[in-house]
Structure formats: structure tokens, C-alpha cells
Structure 1
Amino acid sequence: MKKIPMTSRGARLLRDELHRLLKLRPKISEAIAEARELGDLKENAEYHAAREEQGICEAQIRDIEYKLSVAQIIDVSKMKNTGKVIFGTTVTLIDVNTDEEKTYQIVGDDEADIKSGRISVSSPIARGLIGKMEGGEVVISTPGGDKDFEINKVSYS
């Protein structure tokens, strides 16, 4: 079974979502029971909507339980900061051509959110950064062409 890398924050968010879905389960069952009492199930929109919601909820529960069962939770805050870019670190980059500063945290695929500065470990930027050292330069191939970055800071928090 292949392990899925995940930050401790990502695992906590998944557990929170699982808890929310498990609390929603009985409410959906009640909605199905109430809709069933309304009569003919073939033309009962409330019943069909509640059953669809139940299916989606159950699929999400199974998906989250699976992800948590195969998760390899990595907490970089407990590691010694060597200045090396690894999974979970927050990296501040400076674009060599424009002097624009960008900060990214390298996270698991399910945690990625570019608007929040979290990039997937399998993204081109993260793959180009993994293993590099603070203070070094890196050339990353992007859809818009090659970009030169200086690794300004690597944080393990």
C-alpha cells in the first residue's frame, strides 16, 4: 500500500472534515425518513435529493478514511533545520529576473492551495526545489518557460 505524504495540519483538517461528515450522517437519514413518509417515491424530489446527498456523504467518508489510513504524517517542526528544502518546509524564493518574492509551503496533493501559498509536492516548482539548499539558485521549468529563483529562506515551522 502506497503511503500518501501529508502535513500534520493536513491530517488535522481531514480528521475535522471526517468528524463533520459523521455528524451529518444521522441528519441525512432523518431527511430520507421524512421524505419517505411523503408518499410515492418515484416522484418524490425530496427523497431523491436526500438519497443523493447520502451517497455523496458516504463517498467522502470512505475517501477521507482511506487517505488517513495510508497517510504518512510528516511534522517538519520537529526536525532540525538544515536549510534543505524537504516536504513540509516553507520556502521563500526571489525571482532573479524581477526580484519578486514568493513564499510556498510544500504539502501533499490534497492540501495544495496556491492562493494560500501551499503547493503540491508533485508540482513542477516543488519537484525543482526538493533537495536544494537555502541560499542556492534553482532553475524551474514552468509552462511559461524556465524561471530562475534564489532560495532566500527555508523554514521548518
Structure 2
Amino acid sequence: MSRAFVNEDNQEEAPIIPPRAPLPPGTSNYVTTKGLILLQKERENLLSEIEDIHSIEDGKDKRYKMQLAKGKLALLEERISSSRLLEISDNEKGEVRFGAKVTLLFKKENREQTFQIVGVDEANVKEQKIAFTAPIAKAITGKKINEEAILQLGKEPREMIIKAISYEISES
């Protein structure tokens, strides 16, 4: 068909739907109680956004926004359905596990850092929350207070000592 017969105004560009945080293949989608609540709130917000688009928007912009919101919702629903709430038993609380808030002493820098190990969707460096799939989380999982762990950064090993481990009470 000749380009003379193509109406350029009818050509709509499909929205680019941002991917969710990566989860390595074969890895369970562990979530904290708070993480699961945040996912459910995100779903409520998206459903509300879709309702608003239905009632307010019109035309080409409406179709684009609807495709984007429904695409995000589909990815979110997939993540929620694969989520696995992981609760720690009292006898596991003496070592670093999923959900732990951990204080580390980096020996070389003589600097302490505290963070919590959470699910991939809840991870946020600004809030000092790291994903359980992160190399540092893997290096310290299973360790107890005053045990040493090594994080390999390229050719440089970083020695760390577990200074504190705590578990926050689950939110309902």
C-alpha cells in the first residue's frame, strides 16, 4: 500500500510499560508483611486510576493511558499472585534472615551501616531497604552477631562484622 493512503493521525504508539524490579529466574518472590500491604495498596491505586480514566478521559489520550495502566496492573497482579509471605520463627531470629534489620561494621572503613533485607518490590536504598537477592544480603544471610562476612566487590573483598540483628513486629 502506498504511503499516500495511510492516515498518520490514526497511528498510535503503544505505551512503554516500565518493568517491575527484577526477580532472578527460579527465585521465590518473598515479601514482608509490609511489602505485601504496599503491593495491595499499589493495586488499589491502579484500579482507582483506571476508573478515573474511564470516567474523565476521552479519545486517543484515553486509550494510551488505559493501555499503560492496564499493562502496569497486569505486571502487578502477576507479582502479587507469585508473592510468598515469609515470617521468621523465634528460633531463627538470632541470625540474619529475610526481614532482618542488620547493622554491619565495615572493617576497612571502620564504618557502620544499618539496613533491612526485604523483597525486591519493597527494596529502596533511600529507606535503607535492600532486596534479599542483593550480593550483600546473600553474603550475610545465616550469620549471627559478631560473625564475619565477606562481600566480594570485583577483586576487592570487603570484610564486615554483624553488629546487630533485629526483626520488626509484623504490621497487619
What is the TM-score when the length of structure 1 is the normalising length? Answer: 0.82
Indicate whether 1:74 and 2:74 are aligned.
no
Q: Secondary structure at the match of 1:64?
A: helix
Q: Segments of 4+ in structure 1 off by > 6 A?
A: none
Alignment equivalent of 2:148, drawn from 109, 113, 137:
137
Indicate whether 1:98 and 2:109 are aligned.
yes
The verdict on how the C-alpha distance between 1:143 and 1:116 changes in structure 2, with shifts beyond 3 A counting, is farther
Give the structure 2 partner of residue 118 of structure 1.
129
The verdict on how the C-alpha distance between 1:143 and 1:108 changes in structure 2, with shifts beyond 3 A counting, is farther
Give the structure 1 partner of residue 51 of structure 2.
26
Give the structure 2 partner of residue 42 of structure 1.
none
What is the aligned-residue RMSD (CA, Å)? 1.9
Deviation at 1:16, TM superposition (A): 0.6
* Whole-Å separation in 1 of the counterparts to 2:148 and 2:27: 32
* Whole-Å separation in 2 of the counterparts to 1:20 and 1:131: 37
**CA deviation vs aligned residue, 1:20-67 (integer Å, no higher than 9, x gap):** 1111212111234xx3xxxxxxxxxxx222211111111121122221
* Whole-Å separation in 1 of the counterparts to 2:116 and 2:158: 18
Give the structure 1 partner of residue 37 of structure 2.
12
Give the number of the structure whose residues are more often helix, by fraction: 1
Gaps of 5+ in 2: 1-25
Name the % identity.
27
* Whole-Å separation in 2 of the counterparts to 1:2 and 1:154: 24
Structure 2: which amino acid aligns with 1:25?
Answer: I
Q: Is the 8 A contact 1:2 1:70 kept in 2?
A: no
Across the two proteins, how many residue pairs are aligned to each other?
A: 143
The verdict on how the C-alpha distance between 1:57 and 1:144 changes in structure 2, with shifts beyond 3 A counting, is farther
What is the TM-score when the length of structure 2 is the normalising length? Answer: 0.76
Give the structure 1 partner of residue 14 of structure 2.
none
Gaps of 5+ in 1: 36-46
The verdict on how the C-alpha distance between 1:21 and 1:107 changes in structure 2, with shifts beyond 3 A counting, is same
Q: What is the 5 A alignment of 1:36-75?
A: 47-75=59-87
**CA deviation vs aligned residue, 1:57-116 (integer Å, no higher than 9, x gap):** 11121122221111111234x644542111111110011112211011111112111121
Give the structure 1 partner of residue 7 of structure 2.
none
* Whole-Å separation in 2 of the counterparts to 1:113 and 1:87: 15
